[in-house]
């Protein structure tokens, strides 16, 4: 046979008309994506130090070091800021805060790495580390819990493997700014394009 | 190869609505025409169309391999110098392609002759891969066409398979699909590819070419400001390279379908190069750059702009006189000439075969008819069978 042996007609049917169909599709795809990021979770590993990371991931000392540094850099950008050391220490515990650009931020106490996708050389994804902290103050809601810059709790302090929403590993800050649109499509105006 | 009149399916317009085929009538003229069909023998299909299609495609790839490493030829192809590296890299990486369509003049007897290669933005995909398939299915079910009839058309099956392969190279990635605004035909083609991609398990989203944005990290973005990592664009590379965002192509980190090396194939300069590398090949017509002294050896020829679409700016010249001409906006990049080879005529119709490839595999044909010798976008699409 020189033709497609089977075509799934049900999937080709578009009974609700073109524009409706297209917008319905977009809504569906959108909802699907949301549902995906809303419901599905990723396994993630939490390490307090580079050497703990390297113990868990032999042959990846360099990657652990880089991930730690990247997490540290992100932490100084995104960590909660306090005007006074006492306010910061009230939240996170004694000797748990540091000065950064004249303000006080809690120390980064660990970093979290997502489990890697199927084709990766490693079990974890070193490229998107997530900086974490915890609190030693019993009155804090994050006492002995792992928390990130946004204040979400990811697990208890003694846990080193947690289940988190996929969206957690999206960069917190720095969604790139859209500079403009319409840089393509001008030549086509007034010309036929097909071939 | 026969043209056989047949009664239209009485309900075909309702069926078209049901399946979302909205461009069966274009500019008030019928585009889908099922008042007749073409009948081929299996030998005609396999020996005269399928095998030559695969071979022509390989010859075209040989031209690409030659051109990417030859500055003089890159100039000849009118490719802006700042894209030479990008094109060469894309070729050496063998960035995967999806599909293309080569247009053939074939009368059922002699060798099919290559007229041109639509390797970058071919349309009439839906009507080929799905709609004429459905026509045959229904006409056979209703007893109007011999039930032994087949069709050279594995396009949809192969597209879905190809998308499954491509999915492995872009795991978990969403595929954005783009075409221009205000063209129901292009939107239909892209919708069909979205359907095929989704049936292969790829999540897709749509963005109009004009709505694509650029962010501060040199990434192209959709209307939700999400980066476009993987983009199928039904929009010619030669336009993109000459537009405002062209300068960002090297840094954008978007993976494109078709890949940028197809700039070389969707270019009429391909035709003289093919004739130079494979002179007297039975499926090729003599072709030269217009300023090549050998162009004078052709007395009856077709003059084509290096960049053009849908027959625009093409003229047919016989003994120094223009006998037929199509207007259009193209031609500033220069012209090539190709020996005139008439399209076969069936009644008043000039018939053109579009032979499809998915990646490098022949995948089926479309048959188009035009009242004039130059096939333009008002041509009609007719179904075909193999018997």
The two three-digit tokens of residue B202, written as one number: 């790829």
Q: Is B172 left (phi over 0), alpha (psi -120 to 50) or beta?
A: left
Tell me which residue of B307, B309, B275, B269 sits closest to B289, measured CA to CA: B269
Per-residue CA distances from A86 to A33, A81, A104 (Å): 43, 12, 9
CA distance A91 to A89: 5
For the stretch A72-109, pLDDT in tens is 998 988 888 888 899 899 889 999 999 988 889 999 99
3-state secondary structure of B67: helix
For chain B, domain boundaries: 2-267+345-386, 286-339
CA distance B148 to B139: 12
Share of chain A above pLDDT 70, in %: 79
Q: Do A4 and B211 touch (CB under 8 A)?
A: no
CA distance B110 to B113: 9
With a cut of 0.85, is the ipTM above it? yes
Residue B176 CB neighbours (<10 A): 24
CA distance B178 to B209: 5
Tell me what pLDDT residue A20 has: 30
- CB contacts under 8 A, B 20-79 vs A, are 20, 22, 42, 45
Comparing CB atoms, the residue among B20, B209, B377 nearest residue A21 is: B20
Residue B73, Cβ density class (10 Å: 0-12 exposed, 13-18 middle, ≥19 buried): middle
Q: Do B153 and A2 touch (CB under 8 A)?
A: yes
Residues 6+ apart with CB under 8 A from B220: B212, B213, B214, B227, B228, B231, B245, B248, B252, B254
Best of B152, B177, B216 to disrupt the A interface (most A CBs within 10 Å) is: B216
3-state secondary structure of B48: helix
For the stretch A11-64, pLDDT in tens is 998 863 333 333 333 333 322 222 233 345 678 999 999 999 999 988 899 999
Comparing CB atoms, the residue among A4, A29, A181 nearest residue B205 is: A29
Please list the residues that pair with B386 across neighbouring strands: B40, B150
On the question of pLDDT at A175 being above 70, the answer is no
For the stretch B186-213, pLDDT in tens is 999 999 999 999 999 999 999 999 999 9
Q: CA geometry: angle at A43 spanning A41 and A45, to 5°?
A: 140
Best of B243, B328, B329 to disrupt the A interface (most A CBs within 10 Å) is: B243
Q: CA geometry: angle at B133 spanning B132 and B135, to 5°?
A: 60
Tell me which residue of B220, B213, B217 sits closest to A174, measured CA to CA: B217
The two three-digit tokens of residue A52, written as one number: 């703990």
Give the model's confidence band at A195: pLDDT under 50 very low, under 70 low, under 90 confident, else very high: low
Q: Give A98 to chain B, closest Cα distance, Å.
A: 32
Q: Give A30 to chain B, closest Cα distance, Å.
A: 9
Q: Does A10 touch chain B (CB under 8 A)?
A: no
Per-residue CA distances from A142 to A42, A45, A172, B58 (Å): 22, 18, 20, 64
Q: Which residue of A has its CA nearest to B119?
A: A195
DSSP chain A: --B-S---HHHH--TT-HHHHHHHHHHHHHHHHHHHHHH-EEEEEEESSHHHHHHHSTT-HHHHHHHHHHHHHHHHHHS--BSSHHHHHHHH-TT-EEEETTEEEEPP-EEEEEEP-TT-SSSEEEEEEEEEB-B--TTSTTBTEEE-TT--EEEETT-SEEEEEGGGGS-SS-PPPEEEE-SSSTTTTTS----
Residue spans of beta strands (DSSP E) within B49-157? 99-105, 113-118
Give the model's confidence band at A173: pLDDT under 50 very low, under 70 low, under 90 confident, else very high: low
Q: Do A181 and B212 touch (CB under 8 A)?
A: yes
């Amino acid at each position: 046979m020189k033709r497609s042996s089977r075509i799934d007609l049900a999937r080709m049917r578009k009974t609700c008309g073109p524009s409706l169909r297209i917008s319905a599709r977009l809504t569906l795809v959108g909802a699907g994506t949301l549902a995906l990021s809303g419901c599905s979770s990723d396994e993630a590993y939490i390490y307090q130090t580079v050497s703990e990371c390297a113990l868990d991931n032999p042959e990846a000392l360099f990657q652990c070091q880089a991930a730690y540094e990247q997490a540290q850099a992100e932490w100084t950008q995104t960590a909660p800021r306090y005007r006074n050391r006492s306010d910061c220490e009230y939240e996170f515990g004694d000797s748990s805060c540091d000065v950064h650009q004249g303000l006080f931020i809690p120390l980064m106490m660990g970093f979290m790495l997502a489990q890697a996708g199927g084709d990766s050389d490693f079990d974890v994804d070193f490229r998107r580390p997530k900086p974490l902290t915890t609190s030693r103050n019993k009155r804090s809601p994050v006492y002995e819990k792992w928390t990130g810059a946004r204040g979400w709790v990811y697990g208890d302090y003694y846990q080193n493997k947690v289940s988190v929403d996929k969206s957690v590993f999206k960069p917190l800050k720095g969604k790139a700014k859209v500079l403009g649109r319409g840089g393509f499509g001008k030549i086509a105006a007034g010309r036929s394009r097909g071939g | 190869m026969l043209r056989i009149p047949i009664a239209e399916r009485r309900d075909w317009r309702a069926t078209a609505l049901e399946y979302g085929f909205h461009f069966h009538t274009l500019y008030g003229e019928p585009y889908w025409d099922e008042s007749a069909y073409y009948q081929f023998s299996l030998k005609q299909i396999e020996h005269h169309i399928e095998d030559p299609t695969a071979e022509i495609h390989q010859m075209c790839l040989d031209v690409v391999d030659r051109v990417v490493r030859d500055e003089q030829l890159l100039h000849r192809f009118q490719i802006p110098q700042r894209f030479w590296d990008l094109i060469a890299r894309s070729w050496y990486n063998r960035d995967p392609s999806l599909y293309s369509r080569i247009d053939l003049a074939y009368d059922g007897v002699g060798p099919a002759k290559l007229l041109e290669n639509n390797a970058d933005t071919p349309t009439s995909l839906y009507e080929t891969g799905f709609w004429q398939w459905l026509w045959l299915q229904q006409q056979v079910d209703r007893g109007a066409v011999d039930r032994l009839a087949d069709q050279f058309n594995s396009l949809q099956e192969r597209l879905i398979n190809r998308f499954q392969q491509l999915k492995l190279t872009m795991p978990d990635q969403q595929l954005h699909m783009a075409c221009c605004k205000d063209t129901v035909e292009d939107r239909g083609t892209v919708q069909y590819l979205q359907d095929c991609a989704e049936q292969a398990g790829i999540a897709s989203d749509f963005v109009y070419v004009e709505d694509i944005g650029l962010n501060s990290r040199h990434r192209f973005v959709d209307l939700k400001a999400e980066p476009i990592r993987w983009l199928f664009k039904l929009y010619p590379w030669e336009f993109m390279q000459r537009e405002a965002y062209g300068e960002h192509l090297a840094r954008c980190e978007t993976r494109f379908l078709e890949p940028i090396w197809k700039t070389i194939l969707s270019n009429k300069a391909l035709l003289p190069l093919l004739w130079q590398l494979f002179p007297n090949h039975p499926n090729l017509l003599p072709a030269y750059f217009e300023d090549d002294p050998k162009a004078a050896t052709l007395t009856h020829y077709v003059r084509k702009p290096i960049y053009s679409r849908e027959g625009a700016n093409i003229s047919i010249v016989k003994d120094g006189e223009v006998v037929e001409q199509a207007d259009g906006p193209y031609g500033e990049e220069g012209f090539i000439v190709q020996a005139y080879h008439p399209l076969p005529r069936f009644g008043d119709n000039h018939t053109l075969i579009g032979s499809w490839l998915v990646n490098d595999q022949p995948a089926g044909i479309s048959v188009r008819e035009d009242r004039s010798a130059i096939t333009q976008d008002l041509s009609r699409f007719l179904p075909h069978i193999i018997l």
